[in-house]
Amino acid sequence: MVFPYLDMRLALRIIQGRVIGVTHYLLVRFPRFSQGLGQDPTTHHILFGIALTHDFESLDDIIEERVYQNIFASHFGQLAIIFLWTSGNMFHVALKGNFESLLQEPLHVRPIAHAICDPHFDQPTIGLRTNEYLYIGALFLLFLFSIFLIAGWLHLQLKWKPSISWIKIVESRLNHHFSGIFGVSSLAWKGHLVHLVFPASRGEYVPFTCQWSLYARNPDSSSHLFVHLQTQSLWLTDIDHHHLAITFIFLVAGHMYRINFGIENNMYSLPAYAFIEQDFTTQAALYTHHQYIAGFIMTGAFAHGAIFFIKDYNLEQNEDNVLARMLDHKEAIISHLSWASLFLGFHTLGLYVHNDVTLPFGTPKKQILIEPILINGYNPLMVNLHMVLTIDPGDFFVHRAIGIGLHTTTLILVKGVLDARCSKLIPIKRISVIVFHPMA
């Protein structure tokens, strides 16, 4: 049915009053951040307005200092949202899940959260024993959410806005992230284990009593290594020693701006949670979950690194530091990542193709099965105790396949960052104006 006399104003009427419609907004007022584009009578301003939405320096009445201050304040808002999300998870697990039943029979009761099986929020964490603790944890995270939300709002106020000179101290930011975030947080968790968890697990309460001699009771022995016999998970003392080592590494790395150590993703070989070794679904889900998180963080970190090299990197201020040396050796870095990715790809794919061909032809003995000798030799105690699964050739191939993805992703991202300022193909890339304009 056609309404020939229905004009624009009548079309924009809704049940309660009059509002500006989306079409009217796009044609008349969009984009609000640019007065010049907003006055364009054609639809040209819509496409360019969408393309320049995140080009903050093209906005009206914007300066570089204000951009950095807003970005700095938004970090608090992001942390606040994370705390709010985690608080909601803990609250709903306590309200709908079977957390207390799981703690009573962790080997026979399957974890249930939100009336469905959710492997992300089921395992008994250190210190949580009842639903009441979950509710307290949810309230504490809500408190942290409020603190960080207020901190973000506070840093948007004129009196508390950080200066741009403070934000642009690159080495100070590296020191802050390595030492402050990773080092101090690991030290805080280690202190929590030593001063609260260990005495509480032995029926003692040391804080605020000044009975320091209680710490000397029940000292660690050689049996407190690797895997607990009943829970089939790592001893808390091992976890404590691990975080002490991590603290030392990152406190030192905060001043050296470089780290060089390897971490193996053998969650099923060194389980940290009690009884998680019996739940393979949870282990697989946790690995996938953290692999996704690592991918998102890597992509975001390298993207912001490219933005930094284009906008904020100064040759004179960064002369002969770690950033300058990295740019000077970018060809060597990229080439090493390239041959490592190619080796992993051809080697693993060739082994898979060979083994998959031998099986259909009825000659399984001709398979090339590489035994991971090093890792099995590294864990002789656990293998002899039959506490965990041994690492076999299938695990070796899977780890190689995972290595392909990690190395290739790192190669693409590192090349994008190091070639952000200039490359052999586009030497003047840094001063070129390249903007993505969406098509109609």
Which tens digit of pLDDT belongs to each residue from 373-403?
Answer: 666 555 555 444 444 556 777 777 888 888 8
Query: Does the predicted TM-score (pTM) go above 0.75?
Result: no
Look at 39 and 122; give whichever has higher pLDDT: 39
Q: Under a CB-based contact definition with an 8 Å cutoff, are residues 70 and 155 in contact?
A: no
Question: 19 in a domain, yes or no?
Answer: yes
Residue 74 lies in a domain: no
pLDDT number for residue 174 = 65
Tell me which residue range forms the domain holding 27. Answer: 8-58
Radius of gyration of the chain (CA): 28
Residue 28 clears pLDDT 70, i.e. is over it: no
Q: How many structural domains compose the chain? A: 1
Does the residue 65 lie in any domain?
no
Q: Which of 201, 295, 190 is nearest to 249 (CA)?
A: 190
CA torsion through residues 112, 113, 119, 121, sign: negative
Per the DSSP assignment, residues forming a β-bridge with 18 are: 13
Q: Is residue 35 part of a domain?
A: yes
Mean pLDDT, residues 288-304 taken together: 84
191, 184 Cβ separation under 8 angstroms:
no
Average pLDDT, whole number, for the chain? 71
Paired tokens of 23: 């079409």
- Please tell me whether residue 113 adopts helix, strand or coil conformation: strand
Whether residue 245 lies inside any domain: the answer is: no
Mean pLDDT of 234-245: 75
Residue 407 domain-assigned (yes or no): no
C-alpha 25/C-alpha 19 separation (Å) is 10
Residues 6+ positions from 439 with CB-CB distance below 8 Å: 47
30-34: average pLDDT: 66
Percent of the chain clearing pLDDT 70 (strictly above): 54
Give the mean model confidence (pLDDT) for residues 128-157: 82
Q: Quick check: 122 and 97 in contact, CB under 8 A? A: yes
Which pLDDT belongs to residue 169?
67
Could you tell me if residue 271 is inside a domain?
Answer: no
Identify the residue whose tokens are 């004179």: 316
Residue 20 lies in a domain: yes
Q: What residues pair up with 234 in beta bridges, in sequence order? A: 227
Tens digits of residue pLDDT in 124-142? 445 566 777 778 888 888 8
